[in-house]
Structure formats: C-alpha cells, structure tokens
Amino acid sequence: DWTMASFREEMTAKIKDQVGDGRVICGLSGGVDSAVAAVLIHEAIGDQLTCVFVDTGLMRQGEARAVVDLFREHYHIPLVHVEAEDLFLSKLEGVEDPERKRKIIGGTFIDVFEAEAKKIKGDFLAQGTLYPDVIESVSFDGGPSVTIKSHHNVGGLPERMNLKLVEPLRELFKDEVRHLGQELGLPEGFVKRHPFPGPGLAIRIPGAVTREKADLLRQADAIYLEEIRAEGLYDAIWQAFAVLLPVKTVGVMGDERSYDWVLALRAVTSTDGMTAESYPFEHRFLSRVATRLINEVDGINRVTYDVTSKPPGTIEWE
Ligand code: XMP
C-alpha cells in the first residue's frame, strides 16, 4: 500500500544514502516544487543543505517575503537571500522580444546563482523536477523538437560546476507534490498556490519591462487574486493572473478624459498545464473586479478578459 507517508520515509532514506556527508545546494524559486524538495531534503540531511533564493524583483506581491520567512523562521533552513531586482531590471531595460527577455532572465539567474553556489562549495544540486518535466524533455521521434518558449531553469550549471543532481520529486505529479508538501507540514496556503513561471512578471508585461510597470502589475494582480479567493474560486482554477498590455486607451474618470493602460485578466483550468480552458467566470464577478482595478490602480482605465484555450493560445502571454 503506497502512501505519501511511506514515500516520505523511503525518499529521505534514499537522499541520505545518495548524499552521504556531502553538501547540497537547492535553488528556491518561490514555487511549490522547489519548496517541497528543500523541506524533504532538509528532513533527510539537516544543515548539510543550503537554500539559495534569487529575488528577481519580478515576483508576485509579498511572495519573496513569504519564502524567506517560511524557510528561515518556520523551518530554520539555512537560506541565502540574494536581492537582485536592480540587476534584473537593468539587464531587461528596453528589451521587447519575448524570447530575448526569457534568455536574459534565465542567463542572469544562472550567473547570480552560480556566484552564490561557489561560495557554498556544494557537491550536489537539488532540483524540484517533476515527472511531467522528465517526459516533456524527451522528443518522441528523435528529431529536433520545436521550442515554443524557452524554459527557465539552471541549464548547464550542474556540469559546469561539477555538481551531481538530487531530484527527489522525479516520480511525482503536481497534485502528489502538493500532498507531500502537506504531509511535510508546509502551510496549506503555500502548497495550493497557483504555478508561477520562472521569468515571473516580465512575461506578463508585453514590451519593455520597467519598475513602474512591474509595481502596477503586482498591485493589480493582488486585487484580482483577492477577489478570486473571496469568491471561493481559487482552488478550482489552475492559474489566474493579470497581464499589463502595452496599449493605452481613452476613458472618462469623473468629468475628465483619461489616457491609461489596458489590463487583461487570465484564468484557466488545467490538469498539467499542457492544455487549458479559459475559466467561465460570471459576468458580474468580472465587472466587479474591473471596477475595483480601475478605481484602485493608478494608471489603468480598461480591463479585458482573455477567453483563449490552450491550444491554440498558451497560458502565459509570452
Ligand atoms: P504556457 O504559457 O507555455 O505555460 O502555456 C505552461 C505552464 O508553464 C508555466 N511556465 C513556466 N514555468 N518557467 C517555469 O517554471 C518558465 O519559463 C515558464 N514559462 C511558462 C506557465 O505559468 C504555465 O503554468
């Protein structure tokens, strides 16, 4: 009889066995997978594990703080918090092409991570790779596969730094990782959080990213998610977020003409992120959210809802 409790026991034994008295470095993304991997590994080998959290400044509201507090204060897991917002924003300055944005963020992430990892002198690199990630990277016909979007991960770092990989979640699907997280005592709100892409808010700001736009989007996104939670819909949705469009339109606020940005709202249902359907919100819910966003977020005067499925659309806009 296979249960999460026995998986936890077997896996901690395996990790101990693999690592011996070596040192493990684990990059935290702020997401569920890397957090669950880190807590499991910490249970197995204690302070032989050091976590590195690269704060890109492109995360959701309150997210960086939540990760740091959870690991340092709650679990007492050694954590290096690198505040790199200025670096990421300066590298992204004026860059509009989606793939270039992704490459710049991925490359900068690796540079920052590598510099920290060198100081730690690790023997192993831990990753929260899941089963779908393992199969998605296999090309079935053996031919070159088409890259729709380059994914953000630590790339060739393990080879370059001569680190062996520790991937305790390789056999699990997302919902199993959430169960394991609960089993390990991660807070319910953390475990059930919607997936968030490595390149963060940068791929939800089509066109060039600025600090002002990132701040505006963070504020809008938080209001949208707050309304979804209040309506009791958060857990029924795979992912919900706002996108700040590079378009200004005319509106009227009081007696005055306004000329401000357009926000698109996205929410999808999915089981693995490979296909998705737009979530069928009730119209009155969307109207209420739109009113709040326009009243409370300075710089937005129009809100639209994205009804595209995947395929042909993707979940993220870039
Ligand atoms: P798309 O937009 O390709 O996204 O339909 C599918 C799922 O993957 C997430 N996503 C990413 N996750 N690094 C990640 O860790 C990335 O670079 C990345 N790009 C997209 C996306 O949020 C959705 O859940």
> Using one digit for the tens of pLDDT, what is the confidence trace for 206-217?
999 999 999 999
Q: What is the pTM of this model?
A: 0.91
Cα(24) to centroid(ligand 1), Å? 26
Q: For residue 148, give the ligand 1 atom closest to its CA.
A: 3
Residue pair 128/34 in contact by the 8 Å Cβ criterion: yes
Q: For residue 317, give the ligand 1 atom closest to its CA.
A: 2
- Domains located in the chain, CATH noted: 4-191 (3.40.50.620), 210-305 (3.30.300.10)
- Per-residue pLDDT at 137: 59
Sheet of 24-28: strand order equals 79-83, 49-55, 24-28, 124-126, 164-166
Q: Which residue CA neighbors atom 6 of ligand 1 most closely?
A: 273
Binding-site residues, in ranges, read 29-35
- Per-residue pLDDT at 218: 98
- Per-residue pLDDT at 1: 56
DSSP character for 78? -
Q: Which residue CA neighbors atom 11 of ligand 1 most closely?
A: 197
As a 3-state breakdown, the chain gives helix, strand, coil percent values, each rounded to 5, of 45, 20, 35
Does ipTM exceed 0.95? yes
Cα(58) to centroid(ligand 1), Å? 15
Cα(19) to centroid(ligand 1), Å? 30
- Per-residue pLDDT at 141: 46
Parts of the chain with a pLDDT under 50? 139-144
Residue with tokens 């990132």: 214
Q: Which residue CA neighbors atom 22 of ligand 1 most closely?
A: 197
Residue pair 39/178 in contact by the 8 Å Cβ criterion: no
Q: How far apart are CA 237 and CA 258, in angstroms?
A: 33
Q: For residue 274, give the ligand 1 atom closest to its CA.
A: 6
- Per-residue pLDDT at 140: 46
Cα(172) to centroid(ligand 1), Å? 18
Q: Which residue CA neighbors atom 18 of ligand 1 most closely?
A: 197
Nearest in space to 292 (alpha carbons), one of 190, 224, 246: 224
pLDDT tens profile 10-39? 999 999 999 999 999 999 988 899 999 999
Q: For residue 194, give the ligand 1 atom closest to its CA.
A: 24
Binding-site residues for ATP, in ranges, read 29-35
Question: Which residues line the pocket of ligand 1, CB cutoff 6 A?
Answer: 149, 151-152, 195, 197-199, 239, 273, 310, 314-316
Q: Is 95 left (phi over 0), alpha (psi -120 to 50) or beta?
A: beta
